[in-house]
């Protein structure tokens, strides 16, 4: 997947995450699930950084890091299960295995290691075509090439199904989806008040049978993702958290 964008020369994840972290009072802590080459991780400006991936594509012993970076070469499930600590992260970036079960479990675990004014970013919640949402990465790429001749290796899996779950079962969370200037990503934060809007609840039988939430369902329901451009999304999250910080003051 192309990790750069037309917005400027740095990768879109780095740009968005650093903008959000920069708006928070320091010192700031950051957790990334699914790190791969570290293209994003190494560029993040935070006082404390945690990287989790069962297969880093770099030697974490030789990685350029300051003493406040830590590397866990294990799955996200292992990390959340074995390393329950007092630390609450200011920002968590979820970019691990692109299946809805794994991403939703990572998301629920991320809620446990964050605080009231944290942000969680979910990557890959907006498939770019029907091939991209195949749960099998190799098959997704092969089928696209075979059916259309397009050699793109874009793969989002069925991570998009996490958003209807968040809408339906987490009324204390607010979110929007960045759909400009790079791969779409959801930005999630704790709401100032519970969201009791019935339109937030997926009313059909879809959630009883997650496999019925197919690509056509996604195309029909993109409005549920609260899509907006990058600047509006970042400003909305930063403004909401500023209001929340003021309200939370004793």
Ligand X SMILES: C[S@@+](CC[C@H](N)C(=O)[O-])C[C@H]1O[C@@H](n2cnc3c(N)ncnc32)[C@H](O)[C@@H]1O
Nearer to ligand X, 154 or 191 (CB): 154
CA-to-CA separations, 22 to 17, 29, 182, in angstroms, rounded: 8, 11, 20
Binding-residue total with ligand X (CB under 6 A): 18
Decide if residue 55 touches ligand X (CB under 6 A).
Answer: yes
- CB-wise, 79 or 218, nearer to ligand X? 79
**Cα 98 from Cα 50, distance rounded (Å):** 20
Q: Interface with ligand X includes 97 (CB under 6 A)?
A: yes
Using alpha carbons, select from 177, 189, 173, 200 the residue that is nearest to residue 237: 189
**Cβ of residue 79: shortest distance to ligand X, in angstroms?**
8
Q: Does 96 bind ligand X (CB under 6 A)?
A: yes
Element (H, E) at 107: helix 100-112
Q: Check if the beta carbon of residue 40 is closer than 8 Å to that of residue 8.
A: no
Q: How far is the CB of 83 from ligand X (least distance, A)?
A: 13
Separation of alpha carbons 41 and 150, rounded Å: 30
Q: Determine if 34 is a binding residue for ligand X (CB under 6 A).
A: yes
Binding flag, residue 21, ligand X (CB under 6 A): no
Residue nearest to ligand X (CB): 34
* CB 104, min distance to ligand X, A: 13
Question: What gap in Å lies between CA 121 and CA 95, rounded to an integer?
Answer: 9
| Nearer to ligand X among residue 97 and residue 224 (C-beta) | 97
* Minimum distance from residue 34 beta carbon to ligand X (Å): 3
Give, as ranges, the residues between 68 and 87 that touch ligand X (CB under 6 A): 75-76
Q: Report the alpha-carbon distance of residue 238 to residue 21 in Å, rounded.
A: 9
Phi, psi of 117 (to 5 degrees): -115, 25
Q: Is residue 39 near ligand X by the rule CB under 6 A? A: yes
CA distance 160 to 222: 10
Stretch that binds ligand X, among 31-39, 111-119, 168-176, 193-201 (CB under 6 A): 31-39
Which residues are bridge partners to 209 per DSSP?
none
Nearest CB to ligand X, comparing residues 137 and 226: 137
Sole window of 53-61, 109-117, 125-133, 164-172 interacting with ligand X (rule: CB under 6 A): 53-61
121 binds ligand X (CB under 6 A): no
Helix axes 230-248 and 12-22, enclosed angle (nearest 10): 30
What is the SS3 assignment for 75?
A: coil
Contacting positions for ligand X (CB under 6 A): 13, 32-36, 39-40, 52-55, 75-76, 95-97, 102
């Amino acid at each position: 997947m192309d990790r750069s964008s037309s917005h400027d020369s740095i990768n879109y994840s780095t740009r968005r995450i650093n903008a959000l972290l920069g708006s928070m009072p320091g010192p700031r802590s950051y957790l990334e699930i699914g790190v791969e080459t570290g293209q994003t991780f190494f560029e993040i400006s935070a006082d404390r950084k945690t990287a989790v991936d069962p297969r880093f594509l770099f030697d974490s012993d030789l990685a350029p890091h300051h003493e406040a970076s830590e590397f866990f070469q294990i799955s996200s499930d292992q990390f959340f299960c074995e390393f329950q600590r007092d630390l609450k992260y200011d920002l968590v970036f979820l970019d691990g295995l692109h299946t809805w079960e794994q991403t939703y479990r990572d998301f629920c675990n991320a809620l446990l290691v964050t605080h009231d004014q944290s942000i969680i970013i979910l990557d890959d919640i907006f498939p770019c075509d029907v091939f991209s949402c195949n749960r099998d990465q190799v098959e997704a790429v092969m089928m696209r090439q075979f059916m259309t001749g397009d050699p793109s290796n874009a793969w989002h899996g069925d991570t998009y199904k996490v958003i209807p779950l968040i809408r339906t079962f987490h009324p204390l969370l607010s979110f929007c989806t960045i759909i400009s200037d790079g791969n779409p990503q959801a930005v999630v934060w704790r709401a100032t008040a519970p969201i009791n809007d019935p339109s937030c609840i997926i009313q059909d039988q879809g959630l009883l049978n997650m496999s019925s939430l197919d690509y056509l369902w996604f195309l029909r329901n993109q409005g549920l993702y609260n899509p907006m451009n990058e600047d509006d999304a970042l400003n909305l999250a930063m403004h909401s958290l500023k209001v929340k910080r003021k309200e939370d003051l004793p």
